[in-house]
Chain A
């Protein structure tokens, strides 16, 4: 990501003068009576690595297939570079897709698979050879050019599929769960490779995934989908730090959700009464809330400090008892039972050796966090 250089952050979505590469305008897709994509509006900008994230069946693939031209929207319009794509058949769209199954042609060699799209274009023959060679180099497949797809490994097949879909230098590359078939380690390596290739070629990538970690790693922006609707579109940090709903907060990473009644205290702060007789949670609001409104307080485990004593520098201090400890090497997750019965997860880095750990099961501890550590959600 471009975060290394704070002067020139890549954020075209914040620039009102930027025209999007893709614009979804009220797009709905129905299969019979079933609505797979529901009145969706979305802008994707040139050079983005855009991730569509959501549970299986929420309409991610359908959205992609509409971009590629394999499905027509039931309602609404899709614009690509200010052109309405509806009348353009899939074989004429400047869009290429990397299929979930890779869809490599089993009767063709790696070389011929990559050259397949180029041969269908008006590129001269000698240029095709050069381009295929370039793609083979980019995906480090040079020595496999003569093999058939069934003679190479899963990871190599994945790279052939990528090379094939990139060969025609599309304006937009669609990747449908490109890493789904790889094991965890290869997956992580390939994520960085993908980012690298995306940066080198400057192609706009739209990737579908149901793996939130993957989306967070590779994407410039993440769109979280649920039942054919976009719930939130934001940068990975934005999605993580300021989710706009319990659904998003819960979908991305670990989170504690505490339900309570809001009592605004002015200057953007709110007190949340979550249990009879307990000190209310002090928090900062993002959106206006009214007194007595039902709200959800969401806080990530690593934002909560666990200590023997309450931390006077933090606005929230609650006592509890250690119920469970999950030791994960670099960090430990404590599940702490509050006196009011709620179970709260808190994470601490393991700066000390295990044998000298501060707390153990059944210990009394204090959980402390600042009034800006969590977010207040209304839905």
Chain B
């Protein structure tokens, strides 16, 4: 009866089906297959021309071998753990850097805000790859930072930042900072300024008022920002491979190596499936947070 509404609802679902669910099922299928020296490099391949028996045979060939393999080689779970650690620490660092920036933006005079917002978004105008790569020029042993520090005499030997976890943290914090700033800024900006005055009126110092009122009220923004940083950081591949060197273990890098260096598609697919399952937890929590925030805002 209401075709228009039905179509409106169907469109996003079809989109999800076509561009998320179907590819995901293909990845799951590859994860359940065996490696083969063939094109594509796995077995079995679904052969519909063989009819019903072909399909039955196809399914009987699928197994959990690759997932079991992931638990046997310590490289994988170590990479997962290391990724979790790097993502957690860099999310926290991004929060530490992003909050004061968002706060300053929200305090700035009205007429400055669009400009400040612009400055936050500006880096997106260049390629992410180029921006990360340019950090090499800054933090490398003969890079700008070390040259500067050597020149001031603060250090006598260049600092080894390149190819260490520190470089990865710098890269992640730098890259994902806008995703932290924007949601926090959004909550701070719509906060009623008279709340702080009320707190001060009731006996708080400015600092205490910030701690008791501003901070708790900006929590939804902080949570949203943390998820927006944590989720992509967990699977990050470009930053650890460009800045982290061989020392940094991250699951995104392992995935890439399995896929392109080892050409072991089934294991790579299994790694991806586990990563996705790991990400489902924070994504569900994130959705919950967003929903709660909407309800609180009536």
| Interface residues of A, Cβ cutoff 8 Å to B | 68, 70, 90-92, 95-97, 99-101, 103-107, 116-117, 120-121, 150, 164-165, 168
Contacts and interface: CB of A to CB of B under 8 A. Distances in A.
Interface in B194-237: 194-195, 197-205, 208, 212-213, 216-217
A106 B190 CA distance: 13
Contact of B192 (A70, A103, A168): A103
B192 A101 contact: yes
Given A103-B192, A105-B213, A107-B216, A117 B203 contact: yes
Contact of B202 (A107, A150, A168): A168
Contacts, number: 56
A105 B195 contact: yes
A268 B135 CA distance: 91
A154 to B, nearest CB: 13
B296 interface: yes
A120 B200 CA distance: 10
A103 B205 contact: no
Contacts of B194: 99-101, 103
B208 A120 contact: yes
A90 B201 contact: yes
Nearest to A93: B201
Contacts of B217: 106-107
A105 B194 CA distance: 10
Interface of B: 192, 194-195, 197-205, 208, 212-213, 216-217, 296, 298
SS class, residues of chain A in contact with chain B: mixed
Contacts of B203: 91-92, 117, 120-121, 168
9 contacts: A68-B201, A70-B197, A91-B202, A103-B192, A104-B198, A105-B213, A120-B203, A120-B204, A150-B298
B109 to A, nearest CB: 14
Contacts of A91: 200-205
Given A120-B208, A150-B296, A150-B298, A103 B198 contact: yes
A96 B201 contact: yes
A96 B63 CA distance: 71
A96 B197 CA distance: 11
Nearest to B206: A91
Given A106-B217, A150-B296, A116 B201 contact: no
A45 B298 CA distance: 43
A217 to B, nearest CB: 26
